[in-house]
Amino acid sequence: LALVVGSYNHDYAWRVERAPQAGQTLRGDAFRTAPGGKGFNQAVACARQGVPTAFIAAIGADAAGDGARRLAADEGIDAHWQTCTDAATGSACIVVEAHGQNRIIVALGANERLDPAFLREREALFAAAGVLLVQLENGVEATCAALDLAQAHGVLRVLNPAPVHDALDGTLLARCDLVTPNESEFALMLARTGGARIDADTLAGRDDAELHRLARGLGVPSVIVTLGAHGCFVSHEDARRHADARPYYRVAAEHADVVDTTGAGDAFSGALVAALLRGRGRPLRDAVVHANRCAALSTEHRGAAEAMPRAADVERRFGS
């Protein structure tokens, strides 16, 4: 069982010629609404790879929350919803200008109320899980409680450190076995944990030995930095623990006819966890290759959760 503890947000997106100024009302060209939230996106990415997936999240007692229940059920996800009566389901307001610039407001709402006690009441899920996947869109107490429950049951703990915020520090990272930052998250993590100050835009161009040295500074046994169109970089403290031959290496991106990269990182983390569960004992590298393939496929469709590929899509394109 893959267990995802995370967020559900509902996205409301408007396409406009240009964003309104203060006091101004403008007509939008198009409106679109879609499920999102890093936790939900990653749970969908994982479940679509054919792995039994449980998801714990908090929603409001509102229409968006009802929608979340239906969507999770449609995906075959074993969802455990904490319903909050004093907070709304998480939402994101996205304004996309004609030249592609985004302006986004996220109200995490119920996600911030996810209660550690709600998680502890579901300890049986942690006991049954092979891998736990968390992100940073809940209150930090809930995230830490999930990681601690996983540790108590010997479950592999994976953190997608997104979005990076003040709660991310050495004590949170000390609870993780593997982290999957993108370039800017990796740079922010280094800065927040007292490491080097580096420009995220220069990361992909740095040599592997230097990236490994930087990654080791985080104090997490395994670090996978996703590098967008450059694929990803893997750094281990102990490569043998994950049956990998080398302590650090790169995996190049797969070719993709990119339409929309929203959710590529979520596709990567969700598919990685699915592959880790299915391929236990096999090299981590195999799981990374699979995650890289799924993430590339997700960029060929619009949206986040909706764009996650299925196992059959990966098979059709890559033959495995």
Where do contacts with ligand ADP occur on this chain (CB under 6 A)?
182, 226-229, 231-232, 253-254, 256, 258, 261, 264-265, 268, 292, 295-296, 299
Choose between 228 and 283: whose C-beta lies nearer to ligand ADP.
Answer: 228
Is residue 247 within 8 A of residue 285, CB to CB? The reply is no
**Separation between Cα atoms, residue 81 and residue 202, nearest integer Å:** 41
Minimum CB separation of residue 293 from ligand ADP in Å reads: 8
* Phi-psi category of residue 109: left, alpha or beta, with phi > 0 → left and psi -120 to 50 → alpha: left
Minimum CB separation of residue 158 from ligand ADP in Å reads: 14
Residue with tokens 């479940």: 47
Choose between 95 and 227: whose C-beta lies nearer to ligand ADP.
Answer: 227
HSE-CB for 98 with a 13 A CA cutoff:
7
* 266 annotated active-site: yes
As a dihedral over the C-alpha atoms of residue 163, residue 274, residue 237, residue 205, rounded to 10 degrees, the angle is -60
CA-wise closest residue to 187 among 167, 201, 166: 201
Q: List Cβ<8 Å contacts ≥24 apart for 238-247.
A: 242/283, 242/284, 243/281, 243/282, 243/283, 243/284, 244/283, 244/284, 244/285, 245/283, 245/285, 247/212
Return the H-helix or E-strand segment holding 27: none
Choose between 119 and 224: whose C-beta lies nearer to ligand ADP.
Answer: 224
Give binding residues as ranges.
9-11, 37-41, 137, 182, 226-231, 260, 262, 265-266, 292, 298, 301, 303
Give binding residues for substrate as ranges.
9-11, 37-41, 137, 266
**Separation between Cα atoms, residue 165 and residue 162, nearest integer Å:** 8
Choose between 91 and 298: whose C-beta lies nearer to ligand ADP.
Answer: 298
Choose between 67 and 283: whose C-beta lies nearer to ligand ADP.
Answer: 283
Minimum CB separation of residue 255 from ligand ADP in Å reads: 7
Is residue 95 within 8 A of residue 102, CB to CB? The reply is yes
In the bound complex, which residue of the shown chain has the CB atom lying closest to ligand ADP?
265
**Separation between Cα atoms, residue 39 and residue 8, nearest integer Å:** 6
| Catalytic residue (one of 166, 266, 286, 313) | 266
Minimum CB separation of residue 185 from ligand ADP in Å reads: 7
Minimum CB separation of residue 120 from ligand ADP in Å reads: 30
Active site residues per annotation:
266
